[in-house]
Amino acid sequence: MPKPIKIILLLMPLTTLLLVDSNNYYFISLLLIIYAMLPFFIIYEKRKVQLRELVMIAVMIAIAVAGRSAFFMLPQIKPMVAIVIISGICLGAQSGFLIGTLSAFISNFIFGQGPWTIWQMFATGSIGFLAGILYYNNILMKTKTSICIFGGITTFFIYGGIVNLNSLMTNNIATIIAYYVYSIPFDLLHASSTIVFLYLIAIPMIEKIERIKTKYG
């Protein structure tokens, strides 16, 4: 295990201890999210990535950013998570995480940067990573039904569950529960739109990406 990752794994529980008798839980939670993301970038940095793989990653990020921007007038109806899932399936878990985090970060130059950005990056990257892991282990099948179900569940529970934490400025349990209940319609709309986008574009995009991988290696 690389030394920087060992240091991060040590810092995470130490940072968590700061939550005790502290009102800085929001700042500390942001630190924990950053700690969780760093190992992915460190591992990816140490890989011998070929130029054609970098080109594919850049193209998928561009498609995800353009897709999110194209639907800027329709809140919660965005194809970005769908494209990240497709990326994780076709390019692997690590690339899926990288595409997810960078797509959220870059597209927020259009939608607005803020403390929510890091949560969106981690949530979207986690979905891309999970898609790659499950597909590699033959749990997520390359069928329209399987991909749509995965997209709906992960968008609602993982993306919604993580991103909603961004707005929680209190550790009051009642407030947290109320906020999550209030967010359910928005998360359902986002999950439903992800299912629709996956239904329309998942298989055609996967086939095209697989064809490119076969042709160029």
pLDDT digits (tens, 9 = 90+) for 165-214: 766 655 567 777 888 888 999 999 999 999 999 999 999 999 999 998 88
Sequence-ordered alpha helix ranges (H) in 18-74: 25-46, 51-70
pLDDT of residue 52: 84
pLDDT at 29 > cutoff 70: no
- Distance between start and end Cα atoms, the chain: 29
Q: Rounded CA gap, 111 and 89, in Å?
A: 27
Contact status, residue 2 vs residue 43, Cβ threshold 8 Å: yes
Contact status, residue 104 vs residue 117, Cβ threshold 8 Å: yes
CB-CB neighbours of 15 under 10 Å? 16
Contact status, residue 99 vs residue 111, Cβ threshold 8 Å: no
Topology of the domain covering 50-216: Arp2/3 complex 21 kDa subunit ARPC3 (1.10.1760)
Q: Rounded CA gap, 178 and 166, in Å?
A: 14
Q: Rounded CA gap, 50 and 91, in Å?
A: 12
pLDDT of residue 177: 80
Q: What is the pTM of this model?
A: 0.85
pLDDT at 25 > cutoff 60: no
Q: How many CA atoms lie within 13 A of 118 on its CB side?
A: 17
The confidence band for 103, taking pLDDT boundaries of 50, 70 and 90, is: very high
pLDDT of residue 87: 96
The four Cα atoms 47, 44, 138, 153 give a dihedral, to 10 degrees, of -170
Q: Rounded CA gap, 156 and 117, in Å?
A: 18
User: How high is the mean pLDDT of the chain?
Assistant: 84
Contact status, residue 89 vs residue 131, Cβ threshold 8 Å: yes
pLDDT of residue 213: 84
For residues 59-82, average pLDDT: 94
Q: How many CA atoms lie within 13 A of 194 on its CB side?
A: 31
